[in-house]
């Protein structure tokens, strides 16, 4: 009898349960009412009385081990099935719709502008948005208390009046001139701040991109040819360009840059205010005082600078009539630029 119990115990331990069918087979052989273990209990009456206590204890231990193995195997199969159902993929189901994301129109415009100027040798320079008075004003030929400072309503830092939120990215150009020797050919994009009321045509936070080229014998013709190339690349080969005399403290001579309206092609519309022309930015030859402030000899070097608002260029390019749309994060507006790279 004891040998039969040991043999059955070995069978229980060696029985592999790796499926629901094997689990049912194990239960039938070792746990059910008609199981082989129950059959051994039936033979207990054949055992001599003095051995029944020992045999009974051995049979109970055998039954407990069979029950414990069945419960453990059943629990393991349930967990395995649950994990498989969680990670499994039903290939018969239709696929989830994967919609392409959209890039912000300002990012699209800036990336295109950068690509255009990089093709003609301009590199990218960046600087701090919290700037000091020297780099934002004084080094750019804005003398202290000069009326030209009133052209830009500025956010000053309350606890340090010498610090402010930069009003243009020209401050980055000053830092480039201070740290690099000519020739310099750089493009400075970035966010700028001005204390203006928010409306469809103005905002207190907007983006600029400014270019600077300094070398020997740089002329106004170089400026015109550079901007003519840019205009035709961005707005199309049929776009015309003109310069209007203007004033900027850091350039002399200075000029506003206009392009022919690509909406009405010069016939007159609401975009160009019936003039056939739209302004895109300012430009001019770098003032000698600006070169001197950066320790560049104006007798040896000359240069030109230009700047334009990214929002304005974007509004013209995509015919957007309200500046506030750029910062409202309305997904209906952003979805219109899906697929544009």
Among residues 82, 116, 141, the one where a domain terminates is: 82
Q: How confident is the model at residue 13 (pLDDT cuts 50, 70, 90)?
A: confident
Banded model confidence at residue 125, pLDDT cuts 50, 70, 90? very high
Domain that holds residue 120: 105-336
Q: Are residues 69 and 110 in the same domain?
A: no
**Strands (E) located in the chain:** 123-124, 130-132, 156-157, 160-165, 184-193, 205-215, 241-248, 251-260, 277-286, 302-309
- Mean pLDDT across the chain: 85
Cut 0.95: pTM above it? no
Q: Which tokens sit at 11?
A: 């069978």
Out of 58-72, 86-100, 110-124, 263-277, which region has the weakest mean confidence (pLDDT)?
A: 86-100
* 277-286, strands of its sheet edge to edge: 123-124, 184-193, 205-215, 302-309, 277-286, 251-260, 241-248
Q: Do 260 and 309 lie in a common domain?
A: yes
Least reliable range by pLDDT among 117-126, 129-138, 153-162: 153-162
The reply to whether 111 and 198 lie within a common domain is: yes
Instruction: Let me know whether 75 and 110 are in one domain.
Output: no
Share of the chain above pLDDT 70, in %: 89
DSSP code, position 145? T
> Is residue 124 over pLDDT 80?
yes
| Assigned domain for 99 exists | no
Give pLDDT tens digits for 48-93: 777 767 777 777 777 788 788 777 877 877 777 666 555 566 677 7
Say whether both 255 and 327 belong to one domain.
yes
Q: Is residue 91, in this structure, part of any structural domain at all?
A: no
* 251 vs 202, residue with greater confidence: 251
What's the pLDDT band for 309 if we cut at 50, 70, 90? Answer: very high
Confidence at residue 86, expressed as pLDDT on a 0 to 100 scale: 56
Local confidence band at 176 (pLDDT 50, 70, 90 cut-offs): very high
For residue 47, being part of any structural domain is answered with yes
Q: Are residues 316 and 202 in the same domain?
A: yes
Higher pLDDT, 255 or 82: 255
What is the rounded distance in angstroms from the CA atom of residue 89 to the CA atom of residue 95? 11
What's 252's DSSP letter?
A: E
Average pLDDT over residues 92-100: 73
Residue-wise burial string across 54-68, b where 16 or more C-beta atoms lie within 10 A, e elsewhere: ebeebbeebbebbee
Same domain, 252 and 316: yes
Is residue 124 domain-shared with residue 227, that is, in the same domain? yes
What pLDDT is recorded for position 88?
Answer: 62
Per the structure, the count of domains in the chain is 2
Residue 131 and residue 165 in contact, taking contact as beta carbons nearer than 8 Å: yes
Cβ proximity of 200 and 324 under 8 Å: yes
218 vs 296: CA distance, rounded Å: 14
Residues 283 and 135 in one domain: yes
Q: Does residue 100 sit within a domain?
A: no
Reduce the DSSP state of residue 169 to 3 states and report it. coil
Domain C-terminal end among 46, 67, 82: 82
196-231 residue pLDDT tens: 888 888 889 999 999 999 999 999 999 999 999 999
Residue written as token pair 């099935």: 81
Domain with 295 in it: what CATH number?
A: 3.30.930.10
Tell whether the model's pLDDT for residue 144 goes beyond 90. no
Is residue 24 scored above 70 in pLDDT?
yes
Q: Mean pLDDT over residues 101-106, rounded?
A: 86
Confidence of residue 156 (pLDDT cuts 50, 70, 90): confident
The answer to whether residue 44 sits within a structural domain is: yes
Residues 158 and 126 in one domain: yes
Residue 278, both tokens: 């739209």
Flag whether 96 is in a domain: no
| 266 assigned to some structural domain | yes
Query: Distance between CA atoms of 211 and 186, rounded to whole angstroms?
Result: 6
Report pLDDT for 174: 95
Is 122 in the same domain as 238? yes
Q: What is the pLDDT of residue 89?
A: 67
pLDDT confidence of residue 341: 61
Q: Describe the crossing of helices 2-14 and 20-30 by its angle, rounded to 10 degrees.
A: 170
Cβ atoms within 10 A of the Cβ of 201, count? 13
Indicate whether 95 belongs to any domain.
Answer: no
Q: Are residues 11 and 118 in the same domain?
A: no
């Amino acid at each position: 009898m004891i040998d039969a119990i040991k043999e059955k115990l070995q069978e229980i331990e060696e029985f592999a349960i790796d499926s629901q069918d094997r689990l049912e087979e194990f239960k039938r052989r070792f746990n059910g009412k008609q199981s082989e273990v129950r059959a051994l209990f039936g033979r207990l009456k054949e055992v001599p009385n003095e051995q029944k206590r020992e045999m009974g204890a051995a049979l109970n231990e055998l039954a407990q081990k069979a029950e414990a193995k069945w419960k453990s195997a059943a629990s393991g199969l349930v967990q395995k099935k649950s994990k498989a159902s969680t990670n499994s993929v039903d290939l018969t189901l239709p696929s989830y719709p994967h919609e392409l994301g959209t890039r912000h129109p300002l990012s699209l415009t800036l990336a295109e502008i950068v690509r255009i100027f990089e093709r003609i040798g301009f590199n990218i320079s960046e600087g701090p948005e919290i700037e000091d008075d020297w780099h934002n004003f004084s080094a750019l030929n804005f003398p202290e208390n000069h009326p030209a400072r009133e052209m830009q309503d500025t956010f000053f830092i309350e606890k340090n009046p010498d610090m402010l939120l930069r009003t243009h990215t020209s401050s980055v150009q000053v830092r480039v001139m201070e740290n690099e020797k000519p020739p310099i050919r750089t493009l400075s994009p970035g966010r700028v701040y001005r204390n203006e009321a928010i409306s469809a045509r103005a905002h207190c936070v907007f983006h600029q991109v400014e270019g600077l080229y300094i070398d020997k014998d740089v002329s106004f013709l170089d400026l015109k040819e550079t901007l003519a190339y840019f205009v035709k690349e961005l707005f199309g080969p049929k776009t015309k360009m003109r310069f209007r005399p203007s004033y900027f403290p850091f350039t002399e001579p200075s000029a506003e840059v206009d392009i022919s309206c690509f909406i009405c092609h010069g016939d007159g519309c609401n975009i160009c205010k019936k003039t056939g022309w739209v302004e895109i930015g300012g430009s001019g030859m770098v003032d000698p005082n600006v070169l001197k402030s950066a320790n560049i000899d104006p007798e040896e070097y000359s240069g030109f600078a230009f700047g334009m608002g990214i929002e304005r260029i974007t509004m013209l390019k995509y015919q957007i009539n309200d500046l506030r749309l750029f910062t409202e994060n309305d997904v209906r507006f952003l979805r219109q630029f899906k697929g544009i790279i």
